[in-house]
Amino acid sequence: MKILTLGSINIDFNYSVAHITTPKETQDSTGLKMFPGGKGLNHALTLARAGMDVQLAGMIGEDGVQMLHMIEEAGVDTSLVRTLEGEQTGHAIIQVDEVGQNAILLYGGANRKIDEAYVDEVLENYGEGDILVSQNEISCLEYIIDRAYEKGMYIVLNPSPCTQELLRQDLTKVSMFFLNEVEGRAMTSYVQPGDILIHLEELYPDSEFVLTLGSQGAFYKKGASQCYHPALSVPVVDTTAAGDVFEGYFLKAHLQGKSPAEALKYATYAAGLAISHPGAAYISAPTADKVDAFMQHPKHTTDA
């Protein structure tokens, strides 16, 4: 079994603000930090920190080459990442307020240059039983899902951003969805978690679902199997990469044969560590030994 993350690779610009800026408002930020980011990169990095072998595929501009070296040092195989001359690496403008909540504006850049020829090249050495992790921050997603499905891969999708174009695609080929309440509402038109899960299963009866609700915890559902784990009560510094870290650690446990309840617990503790540190996954994603220690002594472990 091989794991491929084919997704977005960004440079994140994290601005510290008193509150999320409102329309017509001009606000001074109190700090700026730059990190490697993007859901594809975050998922690959988290899986690597969790101790899994993972390959990252995607496109960057020449301004992202140094960032790529940083990811390689973290243990991610980046040999499939392509650098495009004359293009900008995707980036995100992230506001983080005083209670750790965020608002994110994306610029796709090179992420939107992924085409069918590149997808075929990336998937050439992958096949039945291998894992594809992807998101909607890149171009050519429908073709990616179709080709992975034809190859018999297990397809994991984070439907973010959840656009009408995405919802028109055949997502019945997706093996597992990771989504938050905003994406769940967009996909089903329902608000309550229970209603969202029921309707998702009606739409995609063969899929598994992990619905994350921030401070309200997370649900897993597949057919008659459903479980829930509450969020941890920890100091919140920055929630930017919490969902990506949660997904990476849930996948690790799931792929290693742990029960959904065990996987939810493992992912919850990993995300709990992540939100207590600033920045995207490059900074906040914990290593497996830190998560294990936190689960044993949750009141005494603070370092990611």
Q: What is the pLDDT of residues 19-53, one digit of tens each?
A: 999 999 999 999 998 889 999 999 999 999 999 99
Q: What integer pLDDT is reported at residue 241 of this predicted model?
A: 82
What integer is the mean pLDDT of 113-124? Answer: 98
Show the tokens assigned to 47: 């899986």
Which segment of 94-108, 110-124, 151-165, 262-276 scores lowest on mean pLDDT? Answer: 94-108
Burial of 176: CB neighbours in 10 Å, binned 0-12, 13-18, 19+: buried
Q: What integer pLDDT is reported at residue 237 of this predicted model?
A: 86
Task: Please report where in the chains the tokens 């997502």 appear, as a residue.
Answer: 171
Question: Residue 303 above 60 pLDDT?
Answer: no
Query: How far is residue 98's CA from residue 15's CA, in Å, rounded to a whole number?
Result: 11
Q: What integer pLDDT is reported at residue 301 of this predicted model?
A: 44
Question: Residue 280 above 80 pLDDT?
Answer: no
The answer to whether 282 and 68 have CB atoms below 8 angstroms apart is: no
Instruction: Map residue 57 onto helix, strand or coil.
Output: strand
Q: What integer pLDDT is reported at residue 302 of this predicted model?
A: 39
Which H or E run contains 268? helix 260-274
What integer is the mean pLDDT of 177-200? Answer: 97
What integer is the mean pLDDT of 147-156? Answer: 99
The set of residues, in sequence order, having a beta carbon less than 8 Å from that of 68 and lying 6+ positions away, is 9, 60, 78, 81, 83
For residue 159, whether the previous peptide bond is cis, meaning omega lies within 30 degrees of 0, is no
Query: How far is residue 135's CA from residue 245's CA, in Å, rounded to a whole number?
Result: 14
**Other C-beta atoms within 10 Å of 155: how many?**
20
> What's the whole-model pTM score?
0.92
Instruction: Map residue 43 onto helix, strand or coil.
Output: helix
The mean predicted confidence, pLDDT, of the chain is: 94
pLDDT grade for 299, boundaries at 50, 70 and 90:
low
Query: How far is residue 210's CA from residue 300's CA, in Å, rounded to a whole number?
Result: 29
Q: Classify 9-18+31-296 by CATH class.
A: alpha beta
Q: How many Å separate Cα 88 from the centre of its chain?
A: 22
Q: Of 100, 104, 147, nearest to 128 (Cα)? A: 147
The set of residues, in sequence order, having a beta carbon less than 8 Å from that of 299 and lying 6+ positions away, is none
Question: Residue 92 above 50 pLDDT?
Answer: yes
The set of residues, in sequence order, having a beta carbon less than 8 Å from that of 44 and lying 6+ positions away, is 5, 54, 55, 56, 71, 76, 133
Question: Residue 89 above 80 pLDDT?
Answer: yes
CA separation, residue 268 to residues 61, 273, 274, 295, 299 (Å):
34, 9, 10, 10, 15
**Other C-beta atoms within 10 Å of 201: how many?**
17
Strand duo 102-107 + 131-135: pairing: unpaired
